[in-house]
Every structure is written in structure tokens, then in C-alpha cells.
Structure 1
Amino acid sequence: MSFQDIFNGLQQGLHDMTWLEAIAVTFAVLSVLFQKKNNILVYPTGIISTGIYTYLLSREHFKLYADATLNAYYLVMSVYGWLYWAKRGPEQPVVRITLSNTRELITATLIALLGWAVFYLLLVNFSDSNVPVMDAFVSATACGGMWLLAKRKLENWIWLNVSNFVAVPLLFYKHLYLTAFLTIFLFIVAVFGYISWKKTVHEQEILHT
């Protein structure tokens, strides 16, 4: 696919873009910005975005069922996080950002591999997805990354960006051009997130030596 093909496709995609996709992208960007500021609004904005994407990606036109399921998972976690943040008491010690040990990396790998197999089998046997391998891989690697993120491990950014990297051409293929460019934006944010977290880990090591 040439640059001209992508440009022409983007023009057509923007012309055909639904208002639902535009709203989902807008609130996804807002959610990322609020996350950077550690603001509780990361959750309501994320709920709106993931809720729309859960519906949008599961529609017959796109058939990205594993990605839709992943967004449903994000939706549930956003509700949980919002409730937890809203009712928590005084400031609690922040969990330190650390490097993953061998066991944690193996666990994340197993989550991704098993998730890939499970998603693939479900898509092949219980859906009409025409991209089961790619759709399953994007969701499975994101699940591995989310597990590491919950542990505040530096390597979560790598796993999430593997998912983002594969998701971009898949989204272009499905003519979700605005969402594809959103994913490119998230990829860039993750690169800077990795650099920032790595710097924090280095500073912590200096303090504890």
C-alpha cells in the first residue's frame, strides 16, 4: 500500500466516518491526557470511549470481535477504577515502578500466548471474523501488557506497543482511519511513557544505593 493509497483511503474514511467513531476517538484522547495528569476523569472519559468501541468493533461491518471484547474488559476495569478512586481515603503510598523479573515476564508471555489461542479459537468457531489471527494477537498482547501495567512494571509499555503496532495496519484494513491514527498517537505516547518510567526506575536505583 503506497502513501497515496493511504492518503486517498484517509480522505474516504473521514468522509465515511460515523459520528460514533469520532466521539470514541475524542474521548480516548481525553482519557490519555487525564491519565498523564493522574486525574480521576481518566475513568469517565475512558468509559465513554471503550463503551462505544465495544459496540462499534463488534458490528458486522468491522467484525473485530476480539478487539471489541478487549474494550469491554477495559470498560469494566474503568468502572472499577473510578469507584476505587472515588471512595479511597487519605493518600496511600504509591507503588514503585520496577523492572519485571523472570517469573513476571513468563507470566505475561503465557497470558499473551494463551489469550491468543483462546481468542483465535473463539473467533474461528463462534464468529464470522475474517481476520481472526491478527484480531486475536492484538487483544492477547494487550492483555499481557495490561497485566504488567497493573503491577506497575516498566515492560508494560513494550507489550502494549507490540499490540498497537500490529493494530494499526489492521485498523487501516478495516477502514477505521481515525482510530488507526489514534493508535499511532498511543504508540508515540507509549514510547515516551517507557522513557519516562525507565528514568524513574534509574532514579529509584540511585536513591536506594
Structure 2
Amino acid sequence: MNHWLDLFIEQIKETTWLQWLAVALGVTEVLLARVNNILLYPAGILGTAISIFLLMEVHLYAESILYGYYIVMSVYGWIYWVKKRNEPPVKITYSTKSEWIISLAISIVGWVVFYYMIKNLPAKYFTPSNVPGWDALVSSTAWAGMWLLARRKMENWIFLNISNFFAVPLQFYKKLPLFAMLTIFLFIIAIWGYFEWKKQVEAERLVVGD
């Protein structure tokens, strides 16, 4: 236990100001999202852009691609928020059998694609990753989670937390302790989100039953 604590303290000491800034912006984004403040998008976009640079430095290429997708979705969400914020939100529902199949397919096919891409990155431009399978797993499950999140499906929290679960040790291994702590924070938020959404689904069912 002392070994892991000493290692964590050592990694914190080696943490750059860019990592501190990226994590601070990530926390800011989550807190702004909690109160439905549109400023969550610029905070998230800036934090994500910095994160891509940091992840590329430690050769986590699949996560870098994933974060690039985050930026695209953030820009889309920002525009969508401005246009549709006065309209009722899409209802939360459980995934159908076909949606489960699609989600699993995204996870499995995504893992294969990311793994192949990482293993075959041109050495002229990129240093080969020493954890391609793990890196690909974190990203492919997150892609499935984000697809379900966009469709307001309960199971998005499951896939996102599978991604978070495997991301934490990976980030510690790559000496990104603040990123790991942020991911642990997001893991907890996702658990909270699952039960909050579950309450809404059950409340909706009671209304429909009445």
C-alpha cells in the first residue's frame, strides 16, 4: 500500500501544468453540465484539445481519437443546445435487443479497428504504443456508451463505466495520475447518473400507468 502511495505522490510531483489545466477544465465541464450551463461546451472543448496533446505524448492513440470525437460531439451539442434548448428533451428508455446488439458490435468492431490502427501506425510519424489492446478497449467501449447516450438509453452508463474502469490503471501506468483521478470522479458520476436516470424512467412509467 505504501508503495502505491509513494508512486502516486511521485507522479503528482511530476505532473505538468498542462495536465492540471486539462483536468481542471474537465471538472469544470462536469460541474457546469450538472447545472445545465451552456459554458460546459467551451470548457470541455478546450480541456479535450489539451488532453489530446497530452495523450499523444504518451502514445495513447486510440484515446486521442476518442477525445477528438468528444470535440466533434461537443461542437454539435453546443449548436444543438442553442437551437433546441426550449424544446422538451428526448425521453430516457432502456435499450432494445437490436440496440444492445449494435452497442456490442460497436465495442467489438471498434476494438478490432482501433487495435489494428495502433499496431500499424507508421513509425515515421508515431512511436508504437506498448498497450494497444488496452488502449483500444477503453476507446471502443466509450464509443458504444456515447452512441447510447445520444439516444438517451439507460445502458450508456454501463458502457461508459466499463471504459472508465479500464482507463484508470492505464492512465496511472502512463503516469497521468490527475487524468486517473478525473476518471475515477467520472466513474462515480456515472453511477450516480445511472440511478438518477432510473428514477426518471420509473416515474415516467407511473405517469403512463395512471
TM-score after normalising by structure 2: 0.94
Spell out, residue by residue over 1:50-70, the C-alpha distance to the aligned partner (whole angstroms, 9 max, x if none).
Answer: 1011111011xx110000110
Shift of 1:85: 2.1
Match of 1:120 among 94, 115, 118: 115
Of 78, 85, 90, 1:82 maps to 78
Name the CA shift for 1:89/1:196 in 2 (closer, same or farther; >3 Å). closer
Instruction: Summarize deviations over 1:99-151 as a string: whole Å, max 9, x none.
Output: 11111111111011110000000001115010000000000000000000000
- Could you tell me how far apart the structure 1 residues matched to 2:140 and 2:4 are? 27
Corresponding residue for residue 184 of structure 1:
184
Question: Could you list the per-position Cα deviations for residues 71-107 of structure 1 after superposition, in whole angstroms to 9, with x for gaps in the alignment?
Answer: 0110111112112323x16711211011111111111
Corresponding position of 2:38: 40
SS where residue 208 of structure 1 aligns? helix
1:50 is matched with which residue: 38, 48, 51? 48
Distance in 2 between the 1:156 and 1:95 partners? Answer: 15
Q: Which residue of 2 aligns with 1:152?
A: 152
Does the CA-based 8 Å contact 1:9-1:175 persist in structure 2?
no
**1:105 matched to 2:70:** no
Q: Which ranges in structure 1 are unaligned for 5 or more consecutive residues?
A: none
Whole-Å Cα distance in 1 between the matches of residues 85 and 43 of structure 2?
24
Which amino acid in 1 is paired with 2:13? H
| Gaps in structure 2 of 5+ consecutive residues | none
Q: What is the RMSD of the two structures over their aligned residues, measured on CA atoms? A: 1.1
How many matched pairs? 204
Amino acid at match of 1:105: W
Q: Does 1:67 pair with 2:63?
A: yes
Structure 1, residues 159-189: CA drift from partner, whole Å, max 9, x if none? 0000000001111111111110110110001
Structure 1 residue identity aligned to 2:139: S
What's 2:27 paired with?
29
For residues 109 and 208 of structure 2, what CA distance do their matches in structure 1 show?
Answer: 37
Counterpart code for 1:30: T
- Could you tell me whether the CA contact under 8 Å between 1:115 and 1:140 is conserved in 2? yes
Runs of 4+ in structure 1 displaced over 3 angstroms? none
3-state SS, counterpart of residue 129 of structure 1: coil
> What is the aligned partner in structure 1 of residue 171 from structure 2?
171
Report the Cα distance in structure 1 between the residues aligned to 2:84 and 2:143, rounded to whole angstroms: 29
Identity of paired residues, percent?
A: 49
Distance 1:203 1:63 in 2: 45
Structure 1 pair 105–56 and aligned structure 2 pair: CA distance change class (3 A):
same
